[in-house]
Structure 1
């Protein structure tokens, strides 16, 4: 029996425990909390504060747009509204990508641990 067959056999015998590790799902609130605790956590806090400010600017621009009496004012506030909306979308996209990055790193670590356990079992059987 060569090493490939042994690894395949061990993978099949340990499939349930590996599936449990890989199927450990986190909810949305866990992902959000994890993004604040990750390496870029302080930046996530800063970006979320900026998002709140931009949301206020967006609401204010929308109000001014709909209450403006002159066409020039409507164009100005409309452009401000669109710019604020685009800025908010960009920052929220960054926050979601940061959450995804953290989740992906956790999954990679789980697979590394599972492979390391499997490798140690195969090595112990070879000795």
Structure 2
């Protein structure tokens, strides 16, 4: 075993191995979504998830008001509200999917790190 492998093996903690065992199976979509609600960013993830539903409700409210608008000014304002709310929902969902992708990449990096430390061929 080389010096590099021994240092890497020593740096891997039991926590890393437990994390890797937990993520050893290839998770499905709903399991990946559930994993996004764990870790240091779990409160921000939950906040963004809830806010996306609230903002979507605001978009529906703005759309209903848009249908009942009587003046051109009201029509433009409510249409702008719908557009901004739907854009906010989309950007929040993109952040959530990026968070899921980050966790998938972390799982792969940990897997490779463990394989290298054990001297297995990658």
Q: Place the TM-score, normalised by the shorter chain, in its bin.
A: 0.7 to 0.9
Distance (whole Å) between structure 2 residues aligned to residue 40 and residue 99 of structure 1: 11
Q: 2:84 maps to what in 1? A: 83
SS of 1:37's equivalent in the other structure is coil
Q: CA RMSD in A?
A: 2.2
Relative to the length of structure 1, the TM-score reads: 0.72
Distance (whole Å) between structure 2 residues aligned to residue 93 and residue 37 of structure 1: 18
* Greater alpha carbon shift after TM alignment, 107-116 vs 63-72: 63-72
Structure 1, unpaired ranges of 5+: 4-20, 120-127
Distance (whole Å) between structure 1 residues aligned to residue 116 and residue 53 of structure 2: 43
1:1-127 to 2 correspondence within 5 Å? Answer: 24-118=25-119
Aligned residues: 100
Deviation at 1:24, TM superposition (A): 4.2
Encode CA deviations 1:50-98: one digit per residue, 9 max, x unaligned: 1111011000011111221221111010000111011111111111101
Q: 2:9 maps to what in 1? A: none
Which protein has the bigger helix share? 1
Distance (whole Å) between structure 1 residues aligned to residue 47 and residue 40 of structure 2: 13
Relative to the length of structure 2, the TM-score reads: 0.75
Which structure would you say has the larger Rg?
1
Structure 2, unpaired ranges of 5+: 3-20
Moved over 4 A (4+): none
SS of 1:78's equivalent in the other structure is helix
